[in-house]
Chains A and B, each alone.
Chain A
Amino acid sequence: MTASSEQARPIVEAIGLTKDFSDFWMRSKARAVDGIDFEIREREIFGLLGPNGSGKSTTIKMILGLLRRSRGKLSVFGRDPGDVSVKSRIGYLPEESYLYRFLNPRETLEYYAKLFGQRRAMRRERVDELLEMVGLQHVAHRAVGEFSKGMARRLGLAQALINDPEFLILDEPTSGLDPVGTHQVKELLIELGRRGKTILLSSHLLADVEDVCTRMVILYGGRIRAQGTANELLSDSEHTIIRLPKLRTATIGRIDELVRREEGVAVESVQPARQRLEEFFMGLVAKAQAEHAATSGALQGGHTARFLGGGAELAPQAEGRELVEDLKRSEDRPATPAPKADASPTAQQDVLAELSGAQSTKVSGATPAAASTPSSTTPSSAASASPTVQPLPSSPSMGSTPKASGKDIDRSLIEGLLGDHDDRSKGTKG
């Protein structure tokens, strides 16, 4: 990103936002949101977390104008949420896909496109692209009432994007989707974030939020309990995790002695590396697809639709040392998969040296570093060794890196990105 989040203008501003629900006799029944203050800035992916009944959906509905605030201030694009003109810049996916059962996907998307006043040619093009993107082109003429929940959810996502919104609000976007679909949605969100969209993501699935969100807010009982970036909230400054290939027991012992001698602390734990279930699953699916195994399930989605661009400059792709430098310089980049670090020993040593020079670390319990390290890692959060460094993409053999990784990204997507980058009017190079 070219501008830091703090310099970006706020899309949503809430000050002392409160919502009370009353019964028929106007007696206060419940206070769903209690004086919360937050801001959603341009081009960030903002997470809204909390258990059931914490006020997430109520907050979203107030932003959308479906509910009126009881007290406080709330503005969207500088205007009241009830202002109709604001809604042309917003895309919304509710927690359930409330679609018309008697329409087919094409009719559904055409309908919503017309609500934005889109002309026929534009509508047709966008509908085709979106149907392909969400993998529903082969059922474009089947009634939505016959869809599974996952298919309906995909269509719901497509309708949220029909107007190429600046601000996308997603309430449980991966609900009802299989792991493949979930993965694709997360990739899509990352991609959209990279294209400059502002996204508000509400989800129970903490890993999903952690993977994609720039900043997040955690609600409980209608109040904000924590707010900040993933790094700010999740960094464990008391530990360091170093990832290494498999070591002999003797070597591990010598490392322990070194650490005791140099730092006066002992290695707390040594565990074999483990990849995330999602990565393993995606690897299996990719392999099966490569073998053209038959399936009666939904088709995989296609490329991100071309018209979904926010005009934002994308982060330059980098590799190896350049990547590390870039990662260190970047402060609030989303949890996007950075290119794989150079696997050469020299590069690895350089990286390790820099990291070990930055701060004290403990070989256990902390988040994985941005280069290949001894394999004593744990599947934990996505923070890298420096507070702002994002983890490298991982392969199933590299151990656990919780984020959606560049290695797992469909190559065609990257090629598409590169192609998009070349085609973009601003000439941003991919």
Chain B
Amino acid sequence: MFALRSRIDRFAGFAQSLRGKVVLSIVAALVIVGSAMPLVVAAVRAQDLRAQMQTVLSTIDLDDRTPEGVALLDRGELTIGGFTYGGPRVMAMVPRMADAEGKLVGVDDLARVLVSPTLPTWAPAGLVQSLGNCVSLIVALLALALGCIWSGLALHLFVIAGLSGIAGGVAVWFGEVPIALAIVGIGALALSFLLVVGVLGVILSGASPIFAIAATVMREAQRQRISVAFIGLLLVVLPILPLSIDPASPLRYQIQTFISRGCGLVFSVASVMTLLLACSTVAFEMRDRQIWQLLTKPVSRAQYMLGKWLGIMAVNTGILLVGATCIVVYVQYLSLRPAADPLDARAVREEVLVARQGRLAEYESLQPERLVEMVDQAIESDPVLKAEIESGERDLYDTRVKLADERITAFGTQQRAIPAGQGKAFTFRDVAVPAGTEQVTLRYEFHLGQDDSHEQHPVIFRFADGSWVDKQFVPVQANVLPIPASLIDANGDLTVEIMSLGFDGTNFTPGEGTIVFDPDGIEILYTVGSFGGNFARAMGVQWTKLAFLAMLGVASATLLSFGVACLLAFTIFVAAQLAPFIQISVDQYRIAEETPVVLQWVQLGVKGIAFTSQWLLGAFGATKPVDALVDGRAIGLSALVQSALFIGIGWTGLALALGWLGFRRKELAIYSGVG
């Protein structure tokens, strides 16, 4: 053991020297490039073959009944260079990949499906199918290895890369390529995290109290069990997450599931770790009295709190950077997998890996005068109700409010109800599509009858230029309809008439019932940005939320013990996360009149607390960047700025101010005498 330790020390010393770094850099480059060479060769071959296939497929017209076309349509086969590719799976896809003229669309996807059986089983398909990805991977691994070597992490690189390489190799030997990828991913993630944290440590190496405290917090996070456990959990589970996704499901669902679970995992782990680390680093310093030696130096209490906060946020930055990179890389890898069908492929391209803006339809609103008239009419027309009001059995105000609610709801429902055989026009305003946009998407989710998801019902959409299209919809499921962007008028308005009608090819027939939908049941969506930019903005919003949590924990712990600080901080965190749900609950909460008075007061108190918490913390929970990402919806720069201002600066600043007000007067020493 001593000999091993001594060798390790010698290696560590060698790795720190300039000569050692150069030698190790060359060795690392040779190992990485050498290991990746078979992958590159396979990718080049696959690329060549795919190019040949695309050339042939793009000339095929299924209606011409050429030998190639017949082979493709009848057997799903394509012959290139004397070799035949494809089979039943391709045969099932081909009919759906031809347009009305018999020309194949999605040639690239079809070629990928044809090539995929020829790929080596030891290589991940997403890498072999794209030479660019292979090169990117090599470059990324080289950058990681060299970064580790030149920043003093050579020993970590050697150990982690060695162990994960050996374990991954064993997995590949047994044919478990996904597991091998996961193991290698864990190693890469761990090294990336160490590297990022090392860089952040260099940034925070300045000679100032705030930076010094922050750098020490970072060291604490890497060396103390509380935080190491969470960071380790994230670095291990995130690469394993893809194994939990069903590869047989449509590609869009695989990607959406991974984004949802991955981002959720990163934020959840980071949030909990933030709160625990923030509370522990301050509370334990007070308990163990390191704070005595610290605050007898020229460090103000505000600097102390800021330093702690900055250190925690540096760790969070590392976690978000590494976690986000892992998610983006894997999503890009997933996107290269063959889609289930062209619709699936289109959905991935246009609905998931994009940033879309949505516009809801504009509905007529009930005028106040009309509402009052309707309420009065309802009272007048109901003698029993009127008598109860006059006798005092019912309160007039409460009754009028209840009737008004019912009238408003009914009016709205009527707006969004389309009886069988009829149609209604809906206008979408401010559809500001970027120049060059060819089409937008109409998302619609209808209810009809019993909402049986096994049934399909007809609907026709008619547009301002007179064109129309008939569709079948499944109740309570989101359906999409591409619409040419040219139908948007000069004011940015788009009008769509929805008709509860069917078309059998010759005649129009009434629909099978009244189509009803929710206020957000129809929506126009259009692309305004890329997935990468959207993802970055989403992580920015998450960062501002973590900033608030970090300061919440630090401020709590300056006044409270570790346990109580954790309890307070977690309570606020959970209340903030659940704020939207609490808001709905508060809106629908009604205190029954027959409840005993004491209980009524209790219920009133509970409602008051719930209302206050959702009012104070509503913005935190309402900001859901991950949900937007999963739906391919844009997180605008304004949303990011708003989050940064309100949550990042406003709430965080408020927590700092409140904590400082209490902390500045706190006596740090305790009575240690007798009695």
Contact = CB atoms under 8 A, between A and B. Distances in A.
Given A87-B297, A114-B207, A159-B293, A98 B288 contact: yes
A26 B674 CA distance: 18
B310 to A, nearest CB: 14
6 contacts: A21-B673, A29-B675, A58-B673, A64-B292, A66-B295, A102-B223
A66 to B, nearest CB: 4
B216 A103 contact: yes
A98 B293 contact: yes
B207 A117 contact: yes
Contacts of B206: 114
B11 to A, nearest CB: 16
A119 interface: yes
A115 interface: yes
B379 interface: no
A94 B293 contact: yes
Interface string A59-70: 001001111100
Interface string A70-86: 00000000000000110
A116 interface: yes
B249 interface: no
A52 interface: yes
B669 A111 contact: no
Contacts of A21: 671, 673
A21 B289 CA distance: 19
Contacts of B212: 111, 114-115
Given A30-B674, A87-B296, 13 more contacts: A58-B669, A58-B672, A64-B292, A65-B296, A87-B299, A88-B297, A96-B289, A98-B289, A98-B292, A100-B216, A114-B209, A115-B213, A116-B297
Interface in B649-675: 667-669, 671-675
Interface residues of A, number: 43
Interface string B166-183: 000000000000000000
A107 interface: yes
A57 B297 contact: no
Contacts of B208: 114, 117
B674 A53 contact: yes
Contacts of A112: 293, 297
B472 interface: no
Contacts of B456: none
Nearest to A85: B298
Contacts of B223: 102
B218 to A, nearest CB: 11
A113 B669 CA distance: 23
A88 B212 CA distance: 16
B407 interface: no
B290 interface: yes
B580 to A, nearest CB: 39
B224 interface: yes
Nearest to A160: B293
A366 interface: no
Interface in A10-35: 21, 29-30, 32
B673 A118 contact: no
Given A21-B671, A103-B216, A115 B298 contact: yes
B108 interface: no
Nearest to A93: B293
A159 B297 CA distance: 10
A113 B209 CA distance: 9
Interface of A: 21, 29-30, 32, 52-53, 55, 57-58, 61, 64-68, 84-85, 87-88, 90, 92, 94, 96, 98-100, 102-103, 107, 111-120, 123, 156, 159, 163
Contacts of A117: 207-209, 298
A29 B290 CA distance: 26
A123 B671 contact: no
A92 B220 CA distance: 23
B526 interface: no
Interface in B158-211: 206-209, 211
Contact of A92 (B207, B296, B668): B296
B219 interface: yes
Interface string B282-305: 000000111011111111100000
B296 A118 contact: no
A58 B671 CA distance: 8
Contacts of B672: 57-58
Contact of A103 (B207, B219, B294): B219
B671 A94 contact: no
A123 B207 CA distance: 9
A107 B298 CA distance: 19
Interface string B89-115: 000000000000000000000000000
Contact of B298 (A29, A30, A84, A119): A84
Interface in B205-264: 206-209, 211-213, 215-216, 219-220, 223-224
A66 B298 contact: no
Given A87-B297, A115-B294, A66 B669 contact: yes
A114 B211 contact: yes
Given A32-B671, A117-B207, A84 B290 contact: no
Nearest to A94: B292
Given A102-B224, A103-B216, A114-B207, A29 B671 contact: yes
A278 B293 CA distance: 31
A102 B219 contact: yes
Nearest to A61: B669
Interface string B490-526: 0000000000000000000000000000000000000
Nearest to B294: A115
Given A84-B298, A115-B298, A94 B675 contact: no
Contact of A67 (B298, B669, B674): B669
A68 B675 CA distance: 20
Contact of A111 (B216, B289, B298): B216
Contact of B675 (A30, A65, A66, A114): A30
Nearest to A104: B219
Contact of B674 (A52, A65, A107, A123): A52
Interface in B267-320: 288-290, 292-300
A163 B209 CA distance: 14
Given A98-B290, A116-B298, A68 B667 contact: yes
Nearest to B290: A98
A88 B290 CA distance: 18
Contacts of A52: 673-674
Contacts of B215: 111, 114
A315 B669 CA distance: 39
Nearest to A122: B207
Contact of B290 (A30, A66, A99): A99
Given A98-B290, A115-B209, A119-B207, A32 B295 contact: no
Q: Kindly list the 8 A-B residue pairs having the minimum CB-CB distance in the complex, ordered from nearest.
A: A114-B212, A102-B223, A66-B669, A21-B671, A53-B673, A53-B674, A88-B298, A98-B289
